[in-house]
Amino acid sequence: MMKAFERIYVALDTTEVEYAIELAEKLKGLVGGMKVGKEFFTANGPQGVAAIRKVGMPVFLDLKFHDIPNTVASAIRAAGPIQPEIINVHAQGGPEMLKKAAQAGREAGINWTIAVTILTALDQDDLSAIGLNDSVEDQVVRLAKLTQENGLDGVVCSAKEIAPIRKACGEDFKLIVPGIRPAWAAKGDQKRIMTPADAIKAGADVLVIGRPITQADDPVEAARKIAQELEGL
Ligand SMILES: O=c1ccn([C@@H]2O[C@H](COP(=O)(O)O)[C@@H](O)[C@H]2O)c(=O)[nH]1
């Protein structure tokens, strides 16, 4: 049985590899894993990710691939040697791309290949601006079902859509949830947010938390405070 704090993955959004390693070392035992995304990967490449893995925690490689099926599948296979626990694509890449991504993830030995539904920094007005006139919830559930039908392990969604996705896709489908904001943290550019405790109560498998921890005066204390909030849920 997973402990609640192990559900926290910290978003290491920085270009500084030494700082990221130091932070990962300090947070080991307080959180479950590290998430590295476009900023870190663009600056430090696979060697940078390997350095984070060496700290001894699972890594979520959040590169959100969105391209033609062959390119996405090849990129996922290329990530195999980095041995991320989780890798992702955009569900809006469509059914063929999703199917090829799932196959490539399995071939590469990656535990969870998942798809981003609608970014947590977007709200209803943003969807309308890009010509999507369904509700955020309907669009997220549609993409989650498409992701599941094509063999992936789960989705990235906001905590606000956990209940309808669970209803549509069941309990085994993995829900990885950014847009997490403790009551004491600034919202920043996130629009669909929830507190860590409420997101876990709603049924999130993994919470992705960046700035509330990394930008805190004392990141270790911030992580400890969040972990305590999750204890006993
Ligand atoms: O819909 C999404 C998908 C990915 N993210 C990523 O999660 C972290 C969140 O960081 P915070 O500092 O806690 O806002 C960040 O790396 C995003 O790229 C997301 O926020 N929403």
Query: Which of 147, 175, 208 best tests ligand 1's pocket when mutated (most atoms within 8 Å of CB)?
Result: 208
Instruction: Tell me what pLDDT residue 162 has.
Output: 98
- Judge whether residue 114 has pLDDT over 90: yes
* Residue-averaged pLDDT of the chain: 98
The CB of 190 under 6 Å from ligand 1? The reply is yes
Reported ipTM: 0.99
Please say if 28 is a catalytic residue. Answer: no
* Token pair in block for residue 231: 């204890």
End-to-end CA distance of the chain: 13
- Taking phi over 0 as left and psi of -120 to 50 as alpha, with beta for the rest, 76 belongs to alpha
Q: Is 219 annotated as a binding residue?
A: no
Q: Is 120 annotated as a binding residue?
A: yes
- Judge whether residue 1 has pLDDT over 80: no
Dist. CA 119–CA 114, nearest whole Å? 14
Instruction: Tell me what pLDDT residue 233 has.
Output: 85
**Among the atoms of ligand 1, which is closest to the Cα of residue 119?**
1
* Token pair in block for residue 56: 């001894």
Return the residue whose CA atom lies nearest to atom 3 of ligand 1. 119
Please say if 205 is a catalytic residue. Answer: no
Return the residue whose CA atom lies nearest to atom 10 of ligand 1. 210
Dist. CA 112–CA 189, nearest whole Å? 27
Provide the whole-model pTM: 0.98
Q: Which listed residue (3, 26, 62, 100) is catalytic?
A: 62
Q: Is 70 annotated as a binding residue?
A: yes
Would you identify the CATH topology of the domain 5-230? TIM Barrel (3.20.20)
Give the start-to-end residue ranges of the domains of the chain: 5-230
Regarding predicted confidence, which is higher, 2 or 56? 56
- Judge whether residue 232 has pLDDT over 90: no
Angle (deg, nearest 10), helices 69-79 and 95-107: 20
Q: What is the pLDDT of residues 129-150, one digit of tens each?
A: 999 999 999 999 999 999 999 9
Q: What is the pLDDT of residues 181-214, one digit of tens each?
A: 999 999 999 999 999 999 999 999 999 999 999 9
